[in-house]
Structure 1
Amino acid sequence: MYERILVAVDGSPSSDLAIAQAAGLAKGMGAEVKVLFVVDEGEVFLEAGFVNPQDILNGLTDFGKKALAAAARRLQDAGVRFQTELAEKSAVPGDIAGAIVGYADRWPADVIVMGTRGRRGVRRMIMGSVSEGVVAKTSKPVLLIRGEAA
């Protein structure tokens, strides 16, 4: 059914759960997995008066590389074909959901798998929901893996 599974990760526990689900799906279907980490540069320049924005971008990039390396180890241990990608420049800075959907379309993925943190109320309103944005912007199936409620 699925031959290409895109897993969007952010280094959170819910991302770890999404990787595990994607590995199980891929193994059962003989699918390939692409793990994507989007470096969100949208908010970096809001703090430019207090810190060097390049230092923040470098930190986010390093964190993304570590998250992708951890995902690669898990998928390799599971015996799943995979590739990883670090998206350092999004088409619209701050639009992580749009970047994920764009990568899913270009690859092209059959399904998008990602974790969701379960934010509710004011926290969700303020922080937004990347998973909700992906669901709204894509025509592809999206498998959301629920982590612990924040």
Structure 2
Amino acid sequence: MRIPTSRQRASQVDMQTAMTPLIDVVFQLLIFFICASTGHMKELLLTTDFTAGAISATEKEPAEKPLGEVSIRLTRVETETVTFLEGQEFREMDGLDAKLKDLARASTEIPVNLDVAAEVPLGDVIHVYDMCRAVRFQSINFVVSKSQL
């Protein structure tokens, strides 16, 4: 006697209907993650290397700066930002720009360190950073003290 095939087909149909919601959920998750991962803005505006990590208490900071390093300090005096480049004070950004161009003519491989006080507006920091990038300095870094860590 032959076994009726209607039961086998019914089990196959049940298996297909059970898989349909699972496949739908997988596709919806796939679409969600694709859409969620493509809308982020890349952080390329202020590129700097943060790979140094934390400084341990036993390490000593070098007392002497290496040759060819440029240090720019930004502070706030009353309502204006004052910039110090190797001890020379600049209250106007034009004078700083001319000095940076002179340094860049010597070599653009000189590392530039920006030491920014907490009260300096971000717009002034970005302006000085952009001036350094405009004269093609290759390494522009931000100075962080141990108290800020």
Fold agreement, TM-score > 0.5? no
Select the structure of larger CA radius of gyration.
2
Does 1 or 2 have the higher relative contact order (CA < 8 Å, sep 6+)? 1
TM-score if structure 1 supplies the norm length?
0.31
